[in-house]
Amino acid sequence: MAEARASEHGRPLAGVLWMLATGLNFVMVTALVKLVGSRIPAAESAFLRYVLGLVFLVPMLKPLFAAPMTARVLTVATARGLAHTLGVILWFFAMANIPMAEVTAINYLNPVFVTLGAALIYRERLAARRIGAIAAALAGALIILRPGLREIGPGHVAMLGAATFFAASYLLANRLAGMVRPVAVVAMLSITVTIGLAPFALANWVAPTAAELGWLFGVAAFATAGHYTMTRAFAAAPMTVTQPVTFLQLVWSVLIGALFFSEPVDAFVIFGGAVILSAVSFITWREAMLKRRVTPVVNEAKI
């Protein structure tokens, strides 16, 4: 068993390459959402992304139907769907209102919120080193936001809210994973979020153009591809190897934002993102040393 595990995680170069592909996939997700813009309300854009993405759900239907739909499973799945729905709406709103690089950098806080949530909800002990790493990550967020030195807009608040709701979704997914197969967990999320987004989208519906539908289908396709490449990265190498690669996602976001959307390059955002990612990488390394997995990597797809 130990040999199989070593073999499974014995390809660091492959793991790094798969994680590079993962970062590119998720950056394309953010770029396409940015391209769609704010003409379509955030809730409707999110709803259309999930509706169009249901085509990728077909291979998951068999394990979904085989899953034990107990009252507890349905309750946890519904709670996760609601948390994720709110997170997705806030994420789409943030994408339309603040630069790509800021969305990516603030998103790095998500694993920190998961660690805090695990301590509060699951009573996990926070050692002094992990508390220090969390404090460093929060300092990185302050570097990005610079309260008092510049205006903090609704988009920044929305992105902080999105990271919080996504953390709640992950913690609920952790609990759900002990009840049903992982593929069923993914399928349940797609269905519950689609249903959850529907009333928000219909409340302020704007007829999308064919081009906008095409971009949002691209969002669904790249998000699905990102899930796949991330899974391959985890299978090829330990998270302590692949985690630092995720910083390139911020670099690509800065480049795409500057080249295609005329977004200024903000050194504070890059530095703050690096501080947060360093703290998250330390937490991940500590979890690996303790042989436990509580903290997700920063670019585990949420949308």
Whether residue 7 has pLDDT greater than 50: no
Read off the DSSP letter of residue 296: P
Question: Taken in order 45, 50, 53, 55, is the CA torsion positive or negative?
Answer: negative
| One-letter identity of residue 230 | M
Mean pLDDT of all residues in 229-239: 77
Q: What whole-number distance in Å separates Cα of residue 24 and Cα of residue 31? A: 10
- Give the lowest-confidence range in 60-64, 220-224, 299-303: 299-303
What integer pLDDT is reported at residue 6 of this predicted model? 44
Distance, CA of 158 to CA of 161 (rounded, Å):
5
* Greater pLDDT, 282 or 4: 282
Phi, psi of 207, rounded to the nearest 5 degrees: -60, 120
pLDDT at 37: 86
Q: What is the pLDDT of residue 4?
A: 45
Q: Which of 69-83, 108-122, 224-238 has the lowest mean pLDDT?
A: 224-238
- The three-state DSSP-derived secondary structure of 137-188 is HHHHHHHHHCECCECCCHHHHHHHHHHHHHHHHHHHHHHHCCCCCHHHHHHH
> What is the per-residue pLDDT for 301?
53
- Give the pair of three-digit tokens for residue 187: 């399928």
86-125 residue pLDDT tens? 999 999 999 989 999 999 999 888 888 888 888 888 777 7
- When pLDDT is averaged across residues 212-223 and rounded to a whole number, the result is 93
pLDDT above 70: residue 297 = no
Nearest to 14 by CA among 226, 284, 229, 282: 229
pLDDT at 69 over 90: no
Number of neighbours of residue 127 by Cβ within 10 angstroms: 10
DSSP for 2-20?
HHHHHHHT--HHHHHHHHH
Residues 6 or more apart from 34 whose CB is under 8 A from it?
A: 95, 96, 100, 257, 261
- Of residues 237 and 190, the one with the higher pLDDT is 190
> Does the CA dihedral 282-162-167-149 come out positive or negative?
positive
Average pLDDT of the residues of the chain:
85
Residue 3 has pLDDT above 60, yes or no: no
Residue 294, pLDDT > 60, answer no
Check: CB of residue 220 under 8 Å from CB of residue 303: no
Measure the CA–CA gap between 250 and 258, rounded to whole angstroms.
12
How confident is the model over 4-23, as a mean pLDDT?
Answer: 73
- Rounded Cα–Cα distance for residues 63 and 60 (Å): 6
- Provide the pLDDT confidence category of residue 130 given band limits of 50, 70 and 90: confident
Q: Work out whether the CA dihedral 126, 131, 137, 139 comes out positive or negative.
A: positive
Q: Which two tokens stand for residue 23?
A: 């970062």
Q: What is the pLDDT of residues 140-167, one digit of tens each?
A: 899 998 887 778 899 999 999 999 999 9
